[in-house]
Amino acid sequence: MSPSTPLVSIITIVFNGELHLEQTIKSVLEQTYHNIEYIVIDGGSTDNSVSIIKKYSDKLAYWISEKDKGISDAFNKGISRATGEIVGLINADDWYEPDAVEKVVSAIKGYDIAYGKIAYWKNEKKEMITYGRDEFLLNEMSVNHPTVFVRREIYKKFGVFNTTYKFAMDYDLVLRLKINRCQFVYIPSVLANMRWDGASDKHWYKACKEALQIKNHYLPKRKLFNSLFFLKQVGSIKFGRLLQKLHLDKLVHFYRRTLSPVKKIHS
C-alpha cells in the first residue's frame, strides 16, 4: 500500500432503509478514490434492505444483518471490523459526493480528523449547505458527522461510540476527541448529503438534553455556562420552528446566514 493511497474504511449502518440504501451504497462504490474497504451493518431489517445489500455483496468487504442495541452499537460493530487507516461513517439515508474520499485523503495528512460541508435535502431538493467549525465544539455539535473521517488509531486510543447515548452519540465522540487535543482539519467543500427528518432532527430536544449531559461530563467546570447555552439553544430552535410554521422563511434564512456561529447557507 502506498502512503499516498491509504486504505479507507467506509461504514454504513441501516435498519429498514430500503428507500435510500442503494443510493448510499452507490455513492461509496462510485468514489473517485478506489482504495476503499466498504462495510455494511444492518440491524435486522424486515424490509428489502438485506436484498439490496446482497445485490452488492461481491463489492463489500464485510456485511451482517442482526439485531443490535442501537445506532452507537451498530457504528461500533463496523469500526471493530475496519482495517483501514482512515474510517468514515455514512448512514443509509445519506450519501457522499463522488470525490469526498479523495479530498479527505489529500487533506488529512498530518491530522487526526477531517470534516467538511454538508448539503441538506428536503423533498428531493437541496435546501441548504452547512459549514463546519470544530472550534465551537465546546458549545455544540458544530461539525457535520456524515462528513467526519477519523484515523483508526484515534478510535483505538480514545474509544468508540458511547452506547449510553441514543441521539447525541456523535457529539460525545467528537467532543471527547477535541478535549484530548486531536487535530481537526476542515475541508471547505461539500463532502456529504443528508435528508431532513433524521432521528436527531425528529428528537431534537432529547438530542439537546443529551448534549448538555455530555458537556457536563467532559467540562464540569462549565456547568453553569452549559445550562445557559442549553436554554439559549432550545429557545433558538423553538423560535426557528415557529418562524417556519408562520412561513417567515426569509427571517430563518437571515439568521442561519448571518447570526448562527455555524453558517447555514440556503441554495
Alpha helix segments (H runs only) across the chain: 21-29, 49-55, 71-81, 100-107, 152-158, 169-179, 199-202, 204-218, 223-245, 249-254
- SS3 (DSSP) at 188: strand
167 is a domain residue: yes
Query: What pLDDT was estimated at residue 235?
Result: 84
Answer yes or no: are the C-beta atoms of 60 and 38 closer than 8 Å.
yes
Q: In this structure, what DSSP letter does residue 240 have? A: H
pLDDT tens for 53-67 read 999 999 999 999 999
Grid coordinates standing for 50? 438485506
Taking residue 1's Cβ as centre, other Cβ atoms within 10 Å add up to 9
CA gap 125, 205 in Å, rounded: 26
Grid coordinates standing for 212? 448538555
Whether 151 has a pLDDT exceeding 70, the answer reads yes
Q: Tell me the mean pLDDT in the region 28-56.
A: 98
Q: What are phi and psi of 36, to 5 degrees?
A: -120, 135
CATH of the domain at 38: 3.90.550.10
**Which of 44-53, 138-147, 196-205 shows the lowest per-residue confidence on average (mean pLDDT)?**
196-205
217 is a domain residue: no
205 is a domain residue: no
Q: What angle do CA 142, 134, 205 make, to 5 degrees?
A: 20
Grid coordinates standing for 139? 458549545
262 is a domain residue: no
Domain total in the chain: 1
Query: What pLDDT was estimated at residue 249?
Result: 64
Q: Tell me the mean pLDDT in the region 218-223.
A: 97
106 is a domain residue: yes
Model confidence at 122, in pLDDT bands (50, 70, 90)? confident
71 is a domain residue: yes
Q: What is the DSSP string of 62-127?
A: EEEE---SSHHHHHHHHHHH--SSEEEE--TT-EE-TTHHHHHHHH-TT-SEEEEEEEEEETTEEE
Could you tell me which residues come within 8 angstroms of residue 250 by beta carbon, excluding any fewer than 6 positions away? none
Domain membership of residue 75 as a residue range = 8-194
CA gap 38, 50 in Å, rounded: 15
Query: What pLDDT was estimated at residue 109?
Result: 96
260 is a domain residue: no
129 is a domain residue: yes
